[in-house]
């Protein structure tokens, strides 16, 4: 369970003395919903196998090195709304998708600050699931567009919208308005 939610409180008492309370932010809980499920599991394995060396960290920012086939440099930083991340591996540089190195560093950074990492149930629930269709299925849709399965097209469009971008075509109707199944039979 992720037990710590990010929050900052400033309280002013009767005499005007200001108290500033800071509750630790959880990097892993902020990254979960933006990360591909398989990438998360690979990052977790990297963290468990001791690939992560933290160079420096505080409650706002971490710089780390992840050793694998190559060494990569990772920076995670809390922003007012959410978290920003960077890694110099080709996967991150090409797509800006969260890579296993970022996940591994987030897990170790949270651990170092005494924040528990998300459990398996939460990982299953929050991470981006694998695609419902293979590249081959998609190619087949394009080969015979007139007889393409509209349900497949709709699910693919919904998945595209999962990345946080809600596109206007992501909720396609089950049938075009001008078609009725009865007319098509005759």
Which positions touch Zn ion (CB under 5 A)?
87, 89, 92, 99, 101
Separation of alpha carbons 130 and 30, rounded Å = 19
- Least distance in Å: CB of 78 to Zn ion? 19
Separation of alpha carbons 116 and 110, rounded Å = 7
- Least distance in Å: CB of 164 to Zn ion? 20
Q: Tell me whether residue 62 or residue 99 sits nearer to Zn ion (CB atom).
A: 99
Q: Tell me whether residue 69 or residue 139 sits nearer to Zn ion (CB atom).
A: 69
Cβ partners under 8 Å of residue 141, min gap 6: 148, 149, 152, 153, 156
Contact 164, 82 (CB under 8 A): no
- Least distance in Å: CB of 86 to Zn ion? 9
Contact 42, 134 (CB under 8 A): no
Separation of alpha carbons 152 and 157, rounded Å = 9
Contact 70, 63 (CB under 8 A): no
Contact 75, 47 (CB under 8 A): no
Q: Tell me whether residue 105 or residue 156 sits nearer to Zn ion (CB atom).
A: 105
Separation of alpha carbons 165 and 143, rounded Å = 27
- Least distance in Å: CB of 127 to Zn ion? 17
Q: Tell me whether residue 83 or residue 156 sits nearer to Zn ion (CB atom).
A: 83
- Least distance in Å: CB of 103 to Zn ion? 9
Q: Tell me whether residue 25 or residue 101 sits nearer to Zn ion (CB atom).
A: 101
- Least distance in Å: CB of 87 to Zn ion? 3
Q: Tell me whether residue 24 or residue 75 sits nearer to Zn ion (CB atom).
A: 75
């Amino acid at each position: 369970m992720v037990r710590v939610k990010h929050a900052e409180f400033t309280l002013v008492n009767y005499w005007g003395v200001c108290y500033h309370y800071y509750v630790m932010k959880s990097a892993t809980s902020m990254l979960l919903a933006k990360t591909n499920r398989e990438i998360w599991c690979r990052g977790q394995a990297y963290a468990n196998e001791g690939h992560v060396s933290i160079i420096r960290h505080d409650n706002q920012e971490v710089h780390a090195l992840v050793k694998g086939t190559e060494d990569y440099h990772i920076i995670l930083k809390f922003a007012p709304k959410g978290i920003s991340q960077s890694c110099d591996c080709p996967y991150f540089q090409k797509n800006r998708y969260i890579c296993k190195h970022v996940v591994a560093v987030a897990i170790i950074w949270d651990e170092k600050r005494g924040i528990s990492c998300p459990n398996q149930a939460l990982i299953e629930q929050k991470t981006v699931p694998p695609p419902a269709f293979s590249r081959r299925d998609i190619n087949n849709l394009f080969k015979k567009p007139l007889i393409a399965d509209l349900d497949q097209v709709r699910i693919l469009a919904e998945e595209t919208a999962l990345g946080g971008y809600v596109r206007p075509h992501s909720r396609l109707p089950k049938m075009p308005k001008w078609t009725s199944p009865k007319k098509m039979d005759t």
